Structure 1
């Protein structure tokens, strides 16, 4: 059983690598972005508030995100490996996760950080907007707000996990297959998933 955080800025390739890991290692994928988009699509109780934050490229309040995350964690057997796709998004969420996981006999084992230059991220996000039609990728102002929010609120999570000696930095500008090989080597160093 492994609990891995896959971390990186918008457009870093987290989704692509997460899909591979779920397919090859049978992780349960815990993607807050996906959970939030599902809440909107299913007219969940917090739909209007979630849409308001997402529309402006801002992080949804922790109370909403943490509630959704906890529901997924509680639903898993102890032996199930979980891939935290783009979560935690700030230090408050990281400390919450460290506090709550032991209750379920779990802990974060490793954090894989996909590091990508900003110019390449912007190019990828614009392409994703065309291909997938994602609203949060279609406007340069929204993209810039997301990048600024990421730098201000999410980047400090790197230091948080680095201080715990759990951080693995990966050059996310490489081809997806190369990134996947590096991630596989990192996972192999922790044993079986």
Structure 2
């Protein structure tokens, strides 16, 4: 039986530094069936070029949470405008990257304008629904995720059928503390 697919929507607006650190952490996820979807909400700071440079392995990410791993590059991407994305993308392009591991592929969507937080995420949600995702994870671009975060959320969602939404606990970014054995940082059980 195939594992449920999860589309991870990361909204960017003039925040490429945070976005590439978030993407680098997403690459470490242990859950094996996800698609990275970056929505650029009309950035004017060259964000898309920087994100593409990161994907090509031309931009190292420095983080206090992990060591940069150049072996996870390059990341192949396909790029859509808002209209094409909201229609579910182009199957022939999607097929070109589908065989790659999830941490080596992503979809970039340019909204063409700053649609705000809800409007930008809605573009990604429409793309995900029309691409037949099982789950959607809205992930702020200024977060760094634990490698088991997605697996834990999917396990809970699949185990308890009456659950309609699963979320993670967000910890203060600069506060990294040791956790008791058997716990997972950032999650409520």
Q: Does TM, normalized by the shorter one, top 0.5? A: no
Identify the structure with the greater strand proportion.
2
TM-score, normalized by length of structure 2?
Answer: 0.33
Identify the structure with the greater helix proportion.
1
- Per chain length, whose mean CA-contact separation is higher, i.e. which structure has more relative contact order (CA < 8 Å, sep 6+)? 1
